[in-house]
Amino acid sequence: MSLKHIIFSILFVVFSIYVAFLNPHDSTFHLTQNQTFKLPTVILLLAAAFAGVLISVAILWTSNLKNGLSRWRLSLQKSRSEKRQKRVESLYKKSENFFLSGRMDKALSVIDKVLVASPEHVEALGLKGKILFAQGEKVSAEIFQKKALSHDPQNISVLFDLATTYDEAGQYEDKINLLKKIHRDNPKAIQPLIHLRNTYLKKQDWKNVLTVQDKILPLVRDHQEVWSEELKNKSLYFYERGKQQWEQDKRDPAISDFKQAIKAWNKNSDAHLFLGDAYLEMGKQKLAVKIWFTGFEQTRNIACLTRIQKVFLETDDPKNLIEAYQKAIDPKQPQENHKYILLLALLYLEHGQPEKAKSILEENQAEEELLGSLLLALANKPTTNGSTPESNLNLIREAVFQFAH
């Protein structure tokens, strides 16, 4: 018995006792005009108490019956709802399987049944958007994706699908705004930033690319391999922005970007080469050569040395370059080793030292190697003043440089 019923019974009994004490004499009850009963007060008291108990029991039974009927009704509704939900989910999975297997028409037919049964099914709305997108109906896909988001604005999967739809439709600003929203809602998630960066990449908006890249790096700091890769990317983005600014005749900002590219990743050989080219174009030959020497030390890109060699055609002091070639020659790497030998022999010939060219070529001559043979022939036939015929040397020089790259 509930507390409510106990309190009701107590109040009823107390009221009965109160009435009985107010009427100490026998109480007269008339069943009809002629039939009269007299009852002692104690009987009245007991009858009142018993009546109170009966009434309380009746109320309790009625309440339990009502609650039982309510529970049965709720259980029945729940059972029907669960069956309906299971059917809806089964149809959804079936449509998803059709979609994944490429059967778009079947997937669309089944997902429509899901939406008839459950018009606000977020995953179903999103899946229909995917299906329509796959069928090339980008406008319709966008409608269903937005409808899904109206019911679940934070659904990452649908948000990314909508971003993809914007991208394919060329709505880059809409995509950018959407990705920014995703990032604001999920500041520690890296994928929204990667998508945002890639969107700026398509537009070659290097300023925003670098801004986003600086947000990506702290999120991957604990993953060394990914961190290293993203640093390389940052270097490449600085390099591309530097080239863009150089083409726009913004010399100082371009040089700053090339330096930033090298700072981010010192093995960016393109940045070393272009920075040297920039200084050379500005008439800073010594600084250009220094940059290329550093670039070769850090990247082992032979193009850095060939740049220096071309500059040294106009100078009389190739000592440092000769030392660089000599240090670079490694018998364990015959292919690269042969390139350095050819370049060193060419350098000797360019600076009127045919005997040294002949010596290194004879010591390292590969069988049936055309360029080495041509250089050796030039070394064996110097003119009377110790120089090599310029026309022949120019042709061989270009061939050697092309081979080295």
Q: What DSSP string describes 343-378? A: HHHHHHHHTT-HHHHHHHHHHHPPTT-HHHHHHHHH
**Does the pLDDT of residue 303 top 70, yes or no?**
yes
pTM passes above 0.85:
no
Q: Which two tokens stand for residue 138?
A: 């980008």
Position 45 pLDDT exceeds 70: no
Residue 53 pLDDT greater than 90, yes or no: no
pLDDT at 69 over 90: no
Beta carbons of 162 and 145 less than 8 angstroms apart: yes
pLDDT score at 384: 47
Q: What's the rounded Cα separation, in Å, for the pair 279 and 205?
A: 26
Give Cα 38 to chain centroid, integer Å.
94
Structure confidence at residue 155 (pLDDT): 92
First to last CA, the chain: 96
Asked whether the predicted pLDDT for residue 44 surpasses 80, the reply is no
Q: Is pLDDT of 48 > 60?
A: yes
Which range is least confidently modeled, 31-35, 186-190, 371-375, 398-402?
31-35
Pick 192 or 391 by higher pLDDT: 192
pLDDT digits (tens, 9 = 90+) for 77-110: 776 777 888 898 999 999 999 999 999 999 999 9
At residue 223 the predicted structure's pLDDT band, cuts being 50, 70 and 90, is very high
15 Cβ contact list (under 8 Å, min separation 6): 48
pLDDT of residue 15: 67
- Return the pLDDT at 152: 93
Higher pLDDT, 334 or 296: 296
pLDDT range class, residue 112, cuts 50, 70, 90? very high
- Specify which residues 28 forms β-bridges with: 38
| Of the candidates 327, 331, 287, the residue with the CA atom closest to the CA atom of residue 308 | 287
The pLDDT, as a whole number, for residue 52 is: 65
Q: 60: pLDDT confidence band, cut at 50, 70 and 90?
A: confident
Q: How far apart are CA 245 and CA 239, in angstroms?
A: 10
How high is the pLDDT of residue 359? 85
Which residues, at least 6 apart from 233, have a Cβ–Cβ distance to it below 8 Å? 213
pLDDT at 2: 60
Higher-confidence residue of 156 and 64: namely: 156
pLDDT value of position 190 = 94
pLDDT at residue 197 greater than cutoff 70: yes
User: What CATH number has the domain spanning 85-165?
Assistant: 1.25.40.10
| Domain parsing of the chain, residue ranges | 1-64, 85-165, 170-219, 301-405
Which 8-state DSSP code applies to residue 39? E
Identity at 229, one-letter amino acid code: E
Whether the per-residue pLDDT at 282 is higher than 60: the answer is yes
Q: Which two tokens stand for residue 12?
A: 């009823």
* Token pair in block for residue 105: 């028409």
Better-scored residue on pLDDT, 272 or 84? 272
Q: Which helix (H) or strand (E) holds 292?
A: helix 285-299
Beta bridge partners of 39: 27
Mean of per-residue pLDDT scores for the chain = 85
pLDDT by residue (tens digit) across 150-193? 999 999 999 999 999 999 988 999 999 999 999 999 999 999 99
The closest of 258, 273, 262 to 305, measured between CA atoms, is 273
Taking the C-alpha atoms of residue 305 and residue 129, their distance in angstroms, rounded to an integer, is 56
Residue 254 has pLDDT above 50, yes or no: yes
CA–CA gap between residue 128 and residue 135 (Å, rounded): 11
- State the CB neighbour count (10 A cutoff) for residue 66: 10
DSSP 8-state secondary structure symbol assigned to residue 26 = P
Residue 319 to residues 27, 228, 309, Cα–Cα distance (Å): 138, 36, 11
Q: What average pLDDT does range 126-138 have in this prediction? A: 94
Q: Which residue has the tokens 């061939």?
A: 399
pLDDT at residue 38, as a whole number: 67
Q: For the residues 111-134, what does the mean pLDDT come to? A: 93
pLDDT at 31 over 70: no
